[in-house]
Amino acid sequence: MIAQALISAFEQFLDDPAGVLPEDAINPAPQEFDESDLADPALGYLSDDALPDPERGCIIGIIDDAIPFAHERLRLCNGASRVAATWIQDARFQPGGTGGDLPSGIELRGADIDVWLARARAGEIPGEDAIYRLSGVLDMARQTTPSTAYAAGHGAAVAMLAAGFSPDDPAGRNHPVIAVNLPPKVTEDSMGTLSPVSILASILFIITRARRLCRFIERRRELPAGSVRLPVVINLSFGLTAGARDGSSLLEQFMDAVSVQGAGDLGPIRFVLPTGNHRLARLHGRLKPGEDLGWRLPPDDRTVTGLEVWGPVRDGLPEDKLQITLTPPGLAGATTAFTAPWQFSLMKDPQGREIARAYYTPRYLGGGSWREGVTIIVMPTCPEHLSEPFAPAGEWRIAIAAHSPDAEYQLGVQRDEVIRGFHREARQSWLFDPQYRLYDEAGRLVETDAQNGGTPNVLRRGTMNAYAGGQYSLRAGAVDQKKMHLAPYCSLLHDEEGGDCLAVVDRAITQPGMLTSGRGSGSFGLMSGTSMAAPQFSRWLAQQLAAGESVADRDAIRSLAESQSDMPAPTPVLPHSPEFPNF
């Protein structure tokens, strides 16, 4: 199953239909993977004195943006790198280099990184920044966002929280790192339309290189073939705000399948994701047939705006298909007339120009079950050029047509924000219901639906990351250090909890953010959000697996966290240091 998915994902990635990769990043002729990585020192994953204990190691996989592989907290005290392999997906392809089996970019293994670090120590090159430039990871002359150049990036913070150890900490050696730098376009695209194939390919890279690392350890330690089976924890601090949230997407299904089936020559494989940061953003709602809800689109938005509608699970597709009615401000409403899956409808303004479209996207869940879905895409409210069509800003109305099958339908507005460091003229839309209260009478935030009262159709529960709806993926929520209170931004699962486990992120409710590592050794930044909770969860879980804990599923992991937590209920808060980490 993994091999088939590997081929499929890499083929899709190579086809690159969305233009995620620069042309010079494409590998024109990917090679078959062979056994040379076990014999050729130049292709080695780690130096002999950096190899983990075969019985007490756990590989940490990180999928993010601009991961600083040369950072001192990813090294041992002798200067050897703990990064076994890193794939920079959008780097200029280098013929003859490591990673000839990959569809794009470059791969740097531990042996490569050790050479660069040795040159820096010898004074042949200026330091870490020069390593990124000379290795091809950072090229300021290319037409891509140079996120690796940022002093304090998302990937740096995540990587060090998940896998950063002081060089003199012996525990670091037992946690080798396999990382993937996603293309900047994937990070920039907050709606997530470009990410699934890139992320799927990243997961497969980590699993493949983890298997090879285990074989490498066997060869170097002269151990029996197949005897080293290190567990793997993969951190994915990415997410979406719209989706079915039921584990039915391709990415969620794949993570579940890998979690259950694993790889025969590896230990358990676990995935950790953030719960999400949009509890109070008014991006999640519900409607029944005949009801409507406000959808506010801000002006000056130069990107498309998306919203998804999902119906309940049904035994087969109903004859009367789900239909939606969309009413722009100042214009007449229009109702879809879907009759078959994957049809789409266009909405036009009085001049005949397209301003929105709706796709009928039912999803097969297996066993004869289906969920109906409709995806709505609205044109930008501010065109790039005067001749281009644009949608009116203001309050749109969305309704489930009265003759649709009777049920409660879930609405999710897609994230449409400007990611820090990326140039995108995006503006976030939101749902509007006059019954929804942002603040109570005393001016405090209303954080739950129960506190809100009434029956608003805009909800706080169920606002979880749409990538994290699978049965086996682990969700990390955030609390503040002062009162251990769930962060107001932290999304809620369907059961209204903030995650499977919580981690300390913010200093206090009035002081958001935590100190995190920057790109360069010794540098730091201030970051907030459940993306900072997920790597702490990953780190804790990797330590438990390395210690020999057997945790077969989400409930077992949660029970283990409860047994170690000073605050085990209602959701366990992971053990944490009261002091800020050293950098």
Q: What is the pLDDT of residues 257-293, one digit of tens each?
A: 999 999 999 999 999 999 999 999 999 999 999 999 9
Q: Average pLDDT, stretch 98-113? A: 95
**Residue 580: pLDDT band by 50, 70, 90 thresholds?**
low
Mean pLDDT of the chain: 92
**Residue 39: pLDDT band by 50, 70, 90 thresholds?**
confident
pLDDT for 171 = 96
Residue 371 has pLDDT above 70, yes or no: yes
User: Domains, the chain, ranges and CATH?
Assistant: 2-274 (3.40.50), 284-452 (2.60.120.1290)
Residue 10 has pLDDT above 80, yes or no: no
pLDDT for 190 = 77
Chain segment 398-413, per-residue pLDDT in tens: 999 998 888 899 999 9
pLDDT for 184 = 87
The span from the CA of 116 to the CA of 176, in Å, is 18
Q: Average pLDDT, stretch 546-572? A: 94
**Residue 4: pLDDT band by 50, 70, 90 thresholds?**
very low
Residue with tokens 């298997």: 211
pLDDT for 2 = 42
Q: Average pLDDT, stretch 367-379? A: 95
Q: Which of 410, 432, 403, 406 is nearest to 336 (CA)?
A: 403
pLDDT for 494 = 96
Q: Average pLDDT, stretch 223-236? A: 97
**Residue 6: pLDDT band by 50, 70, 90 thresholds?**
very low
Count of residues for the chain?
Answer: 583
Residue 247 has pLDDT above 90, yes or no: yes
Please name every residue paired with 61 in a beta bridge, in sequence order, or none if there are none. Answer: 178, 234
Query: In this structure, what is the dihedral angle of CA atoms 99, 102, 103, 105, given to the nearest 10 degrees?
Result: -40
Chain segment 437-481, per-residue pLDDT in tens: 999 999 999 999 999 999 999 999 999 999 999 999 999 999 999
Where helices occur in 393-441 by DSSP H, the ranges are: none
Distances (CA, A) of 391 to 25, 281, 292: 36, 22, 20
- 155 Cα distance to chain centroid: 11
* Amino acid found at 227: S
**Residue 417: pLDDT band by 50, 70, 90 thresholds?**
confident
Q: Average pLDDT, stretch 103-125? A: 96
Residue 239: phi and psi, rounded to 5, are -170, 170
**pLDDT above 90: percentage of residues in the chain:** 80
> The pTM is what?
0.94
Q: Are residues 51 and 213 in contact, defined by beta-carbon separation less than 8 angstroms?
A: no
Q: Average pLDDT, stretch 327-351? A: 94
**Residue 5: pLDDT band by 50, 70, 90 thresholds?**
very low
pLDDT for 56 = 95
Chain segment 491-508, per-residue pLDDT in tens: 999 999 999 999 999 999
* Those residues with Cβ within 8 angstroms of residue 434's Cβ, 6 or more apart along the chain or in another chain: none
**Residue 581: pLDDT band by 50, 70, 90 thresholds?**
low
- 241 Cα distance to chain centroid: 11
Residue 208 has pLDDT above 70, yes or no: yes
Chain segment 123-178, per-residue pLDDT in tens: 999 999 999 999 999 999 887 778 888 888 999 999 999 999 999 999 999 999 99
Residue 18 has pLDDT above 70, yes or no: no
pLDDT for 152 = 87
Distances (CA, A) of 436 to 310, 451, 464: 21, 10, 19
Q: Are residues 103 and 14 in contact, defined by beta-carbon separation less than 8 angstroms?
A: yes
